[in-house]
Chains A and B, each alone.
Chain A
Amino acid sequence: MDAPDLTGLKGQPLPQRPAFQRFLGSTAVSVAIYTAVMVVIVYSSYVGAKNMGYNWQWNRVPQFLYSFTDDGFQLGEIGYGLLATIQLSATAFALAVVLGLLVALLRLSGLVMGTAVSIGFLEFVRNIPLLVLLYLFYYVLGPIFGYDRYWASILTLAVFHSALISEIFRAGINAVDKGQWEAAKSIGMRSEQIYRYIILPQSIRFMLPPMTGEAVHLIKSSAIVSVIAVAELTTVGRNIISDTFMSFEIWFTVAIVYMAVTLILSVGVTYLEHRYTVDQ
């Protein structure tokens, strides 16, 4: 094999990629390929479903999203299901953040007990399937402490995600230079003041992207509470299907609604993050 002669390339710009690779890599071609793939998938599932004798009734779907009656605009069942999912997820997320922060602070406290408790909690949560955790909170702890299925769902999601969120907090807090601690201590601030005024405001920058990921993750895993029949998007989907037998249309619709919500969330936070960094 001949060694390529590289001597002539010294000090010159990097060789361009071959023309056909550049062509494949361009935006227009990427979009075209993506569209083509999507068309093939959608078309083949459509044809496949038809061959199964499936009767597509997309025209009956919009009424489940919204409708216009004499009273004006009305949300449909899926619309209300979405609101319920958002409410459930938001409550669980808020709780998960509080719990996650506590666990992270315990872990960072340097106290032997604190570290042990938080590590125990993390290992417990991390090694149990979400579904089992849900059953535990609903069938076991629910009757003991007397809360309903709605709170069982919120607690399950909050506890499960607080484990991951506490790691985000820990990483974010550790990412702040230790000189900040020393400076704050040397002007006499107490630990909780240092966290509140000095450390956490600086670590938000590091935590925002993974926190968003976690929020998206939580919204998606909230679908699991449909197994204990808590009214939310996935449960609503199941109910509609048992009434109408339009399983293909409804599952597609539910999937797209989830996707829309999580995409809007991600884009919104990216925008916030951008503004936040520009401000400094």
Chain B
Amino acid sequence: MSDAKPIIEATHLDKFYGDFHALKDIDLTVHQGEKMVICGPSGSGKSTLIRCFNGLEWHNSGTLVIDGIEVHEQSKQMRGLRQEVGMVFQQFNLFPHLTVLENLMIGPMKVRRLTRGQAEETARKYLDRVHIPEQADKYPAALSGGQQQRVAIARSLCMETRIMLFDEPTSALDPEMINEVLDVMVELAHSGMTMVVVTHEMGFARKVADTMVFMEQGEIVEVSSPDRFFTSPSSERCRLFLNQILEY
């Protein structure tokens, strides 16, 4: 990874919610093509961190450089940047009043300014990629959770983003649907996409992660390769956490 160019660089990032110190002095670099998995206990700031990466939250101090451009709340580049950084949410957040195809086409048409024909072509291409071309004309409510999350992934892909953020993409799913979503994510990883994934699916992490990150109470406690991370994590807290989630 060391020869790839950095695409997200956070240095001394701090984030407060009122008095609450949600992110503490975060230093983190994601390189192009890297797959990073972030884990840690509930409330440790994982969501807050990746939401800073696409401007859904803003850091209060420190610097955040994405694709060579420094971003902060006053800078106007964030919307352009969002077209580079896609996000998949725990609750899918599909647009319920639009069909699957329309969900995928709206970004390309309204933001990327493609024609309807081009947008539909893009949409169908990525719907194929997530293996549900036959659901194109249904409304989201008619799909299973796993299918909805795959549509959400396709919706992000339609923006031809270079970085994809995932915030616990499988934790709202019934167990039998988790694998179909993880499979799509593994395929995406193999296609060379830069991915930052908040998840506790350690099987997925072992399969694709280049880097493991462990967070606790707003701090990054450990950054290491999966081999190190799963066999001999350097911090005691991380080891305890792994024991807890791997027990089941």
Contact = CB atoms under 8 A, between A and B. Distances in A.
Interface of A: 177, 179-180, 182-190, 193, 197-198, 201-202, 280
Given A187-B107, A202-B96, A179 B83 contact: no
Contacts, number: 62
Interface string B137-171: 00101000000000010011001000000000000
Contact of A186 (B82, B106, B110): B82
Contact of B86 (A180, A184, A186, A197): A186
25 contacts: A179-B91, A180-B95, A182-B56, A182-B89, A183-B87, A183-B89, A183-B93, A183-B95, A183-B152, A183-B155, A184-B95, A186-B54, A186-B87, A187-B111, A187-B155, A187-B156, A188-B80, A188-B82, A188-B107, A188-B111, A189-B106, A189-B107, A190-B79, A193-B110, A197-B106
A189 B95 CA distance: 13
B95 A198 contact: yes
A188 B93 contact: no
A256 to B, nearest CB: 39
B97 interface: yes
Interface of B: 54-56, 79-80, 82-83, 85-87, 89, 91, 93-97, 106-107, 110-111, 139, 141, 152, 155-156, 159
B89 A179 contact: yes
B88 to A, nearest CB: 9
A182 B51 CA distance: 10
Contacts of B86: 186-187
Contacts of B152: 183
Nearest to B139: A280
B157 to A, nearest CB: 11
A188 B109 CA distance: 11
A187 B159 contact: yes
A202 B97 contact: yes
B231 to A, nearest CB: 35
A184 B79 CA distance: 11
Contact of A189 (B55, B56, B94, B111): B111
A280 B82 CA distance: 30
A272 to B, nearest CB: 16
A122 B159 CA distance: 41
Contacts of A202: 95-97
B175 to A, nearest CB: 23
A193 B82 CA distance: 15
B181 to A, nearest CB: 17
Contact of B97 (A185, A188, A280): A280
B56 A186 contact: yes
Nearest to A201: B97
Contact of B82 (A177, A180, A185): A185
Nearest to B88: A186
A201 B106 CA distance: 14
B130 to A, nearest CB: 16
Pick the most buried of A184, A187, A202: most chain B CB atoms within 10 A of its CB: A187
A185 B51 CA distance: 11
B196 to A, nearest CB: 13
B95 A188 contact: no
A181 B93 CA distance: 9
A213 to B, nearest CB: 23
Contacts of B139: 280
B168 to A, nearest CB: 13
A148 to B, nearest CB: 42
A197 B89 CA distance: 20
Query: Sorted from nearest, which 10 A-B pairs have the closest CB atoms?
Result: A183-B93, A187-B107, A179-B93, A186-B87, A188-B82, A188-B111, A188-B83, A201-B97, A202-B97, A193-B110
B226 to A, nearest CB: 27
Contacts of A190: 79
Contacts of A183: 87, 89, 93-95, 152, 155
B110 A189 contact: yes
Contacts of B110: 189, 193, 197
Contacts of A198: 95
A188 B55 CA distance: 10
Contacts of B95: 180, 183-184, 198, 202
Given A280-B97, A280-B139, A280-B141, 14 more contacts: A180-B93, A182-B89, A183-B155, A185-B55, A185-B82, A186-B54, A186-B86, A186-B156, A188-B111, A189-B106, A189-B111, A193-B111, A201-B97, A280-B96
A185 B93 contact: no
A14 to B, nearest CB: 34
A182 B91 CA distance: 11
A193 B86 CA distance: 18
A276 to B, nearest CB: 10
